[in-house]
Amino acid sequence: MINSTVKQNKNIGRLLIKCSDKPGIISTLSNFLFEHDSNIIESSQYSTDPQGGTFFIRIEFHCKDLAGKSVQMEKDFQMIAQEHSMDYQFAYSNERKRTAIFVSKEPYCLMELLWEWQNGDLETDIVVVISNHEGARGIVEDLGIPFHYIPANKDIRQQVEEEQIRLMKEYDVDLLILARYMQILTPEFVRHFPRQIINIHHSFLPAFIGARPYERAFERGVKIIGATSHYVTNDLDEGPIIEQDIERVDHRDSIVKLKKIGRQIERRVLAKAVKWHLEDRILVEDNKTIVFR
């Protein structure tokens, strides 16, 4: 399934752009792709204000022999980008991002990601799993994925993160997924991977940040619970939000039931956020995201 997906996508490219909004941008982009024998197969755009706001667009296109044409295409686009003061990125479906997953004791988010990956629904190569517990080793190694056990606590955090950073370089990782990894990352670690770390938080941020969210939600008598997936920054649980979801609950639901419902939400929210990142559907503006689903 994975190999057939790569073959199918070998001529698919993506162009993501942020610039000041003004008339003619879409026409300019369409003409550029037409002149380079490319067919637009998906296009999504958003403007903060049509009169002087910021314009965002994601275009997915098909181009025969894209691998042989991409260098010249990017070179030719530079003049357009300069003329319109564009921040832009070309991405190619056949250049699969390399992903690392960090996990602790609870493997349910890890297992969801592995299932999506096996099924061909995550356009990535999962190259390594790192954990501060041994429990997930069998699940991971049965799939032929390297597993590294690195005990972690606050007293040895520096040496732990040095080893983790070394492994990220060794495996040439593009994306780090915190699939219920229950260790706080230091600013030094985060600095190495800007907008490359996706976390799942077991509450509907900004409510119930920190420990024991379900217990605190139960004590508060909440009527909805949820989960939030976000990029990791140095502000704990306050990075740009990618996806959130909720379920309704009531007074009859115990803490155990709330946790069960919460785990289901966490799994699907994290999987969606990772999928959108891998498909280059997310643009970050300040501490917010524009997500072209």
Mapped to the 3 state alphabet, what secondary structure does the chain carry? CHHHHHHHCCCEEEEEEEEECCCCHHHHHHHHHHHCCEEEEEEEEEECCCCCCEEEEEEEEEECCHHHHHHHHHHHHHHHHHHCCCEEEEEECCCCEEEEEEECCCCHHHHHHHHHHHCCCCCEEEEEEEECCCCCHHHHHCCCCCEEECCCCHHHHHHHHHHHHHHHHHCCCCEEEECCCCCCCCHHHHHCCCCCEEEEECCCCCCCCCCCHHHHHHHHCCCEEEEEEEECCCCCCCCCEEEEEEEECCCCCCHHHHHHHHHHHHHHHHHHHHHHHHCCCEEEECCEEEECC
Q: Which amino acid is at 197?
A: I
- At 212, the pLDDT band (50, 70, 90 cuts) reads confident
Query: In the predicted model, is pLDDT for residue 16 greater than 60?
Result: yes
Residue with tokens 């979801």: 245
CA distance 40 to 60: 6
Q: Which amino acid is at 238?
A: E
pLDDT recorded at residue 7: 58
How much of the chain, in percent, has pLDDT values that exceed 90? 82
Which among 244, 227, 278 has a CA at the least distance from the CA of 94?
Answer: 278
CA distance 161 to 150: 9
CA distance 227 to 270: 9
**122-177 per-position pLDDT tens digit:** 999 999 999 999 999 999 999 999 999 999 888 899 999 999 999 999 999 999 99
Query: In the predicted model, is pLDDT for residue 205 greater than 60?
Result: no
Average pLDDT for the chain:
93
Of 1-5, 41-45, 236-240, 247-251, which one has max mean pLDDT? Answer: 41-45
pLDDT recorded at residue 5: 52
pLDDT recorded at residue 206: 60
**56-98 per-position pLDDT tens digit:** 999 999 999 999 999 999 999 999 999 999 999 999 999 999 9
**227-248 per-position pLDDT tens digit:** 999 999 987 778 999 999 999 9
**Overall average pLDDT of the 109-114 stretch:** 98
Show which residues are catalytic. Answer: 237
**247-272 per-position pLDDT tens digit:** 999 999 999 999 999 999 999 999 99
pLDDT recorded at residue 234: 86
pLDDT recorded at residue 3: 53
Query: In the predicted model, is pLDDT for residue 100 greater than 70?
Result: yes
Taking the model in full, what pTM does it have?
A: 0.92
